[in-house]
Structure 1
């Protein structure tokens, strides 16, 4: 097993936070956000491609998304891709542009989205704790191999725990901010 590397542990914990932020940005609030369409895949040219590789997405108004399709032949596949993503959006075709008005969120839908944000947060915390466990195991093995002393192991374990606490707190903060955004817009 690898030697203890604090920078690697921190990098992996940051990765869990970045993944969480990506997941949270895909949750719809009352405002138009271009990242809402990030998960949309479109079947064009015989393969599945992300929407952003066949069109430009913008938010011209607070409650409207606009999808400018580059190739006229791809308008129908883009429309189908958006429908398949099950985001509750009904595209209106306007030439080579699809306009997506955002309907108001119902109270029930807001609660579902808030719950989903919490689930994403829990997934990120599990990932962070797994990184902590890996770090602790590496430290114990390093001590067994006589590469570090018991004092060094304990000091490093404290570092790993502090990093874990910091990133778990960052996770809670990100989820709380998203839940507030969902419930108040």
Structure 2
């Protein structure tokens, strides 16, 4: 692998780890209704797990409520079952046409637990990025050992991988800080 290929691979993988963290943050309940809360919920739909947003429209009529209107009224029961079995801790209210989810405000204790959970998710994302750095450094060492790269190229490549890591760790910290602020203020 050339230096550019190694760096591109590292950057793509770090971007994926960062995006995964962003998606996990989106799905966390903050006391405010957002359709992203239902992103990770899968409904049994003709024998295969399907995301709720593919079989229903999700809207927020007010900041404390989600409304789920399935394209097919027969799917109401399956959507309700999927929400009840999820870890959201919300009780769906089914009126025969739509499902309403009341989002209760979070207590101070719940907020602290949520921030702790987010910190763990952020650390997992940072560890993923560090593992990617380690892999990139191994590729540079191997390329130097195989005589396809000079020592100076290897060292400058490792330095660039380290700079990439710092950039992505800063992005993760920034996302964590914003979400923490949002949870503690709402």
TM-score over 0.5 for the alignment? yes
Runs in 1 of length 4+ with deviation above 4 angstroms? none
Secondary structure in 2 aligned to 1:27?
A: coil
**Residues 1-185 of structure 1 aligned to structure 2 (within 5 Å):** 2-4=1-3, 5=5, 6-185=7-186
Q: TM-score by structure 2 length?
A: 0.94
* Alignment TM-score, normalising by the size of structure 1: 0.94
The question of whether the paired residues in 2 share the 8 Å contact of 1:3 and 1:138 is answered with no
Q: Distance in 2 between matches of 1:61 and 1:7?
A: 44
Alignment: residue pair count: 184
* Stretches of structure 2 lacking an aligned partner (at least 5 in a row): none
**Any stretches of 5+ residues in structure 1 without a counterpart?**
none
Mapped to 2, the partners of 1:24 and 1:18 lie a distance apart of 10
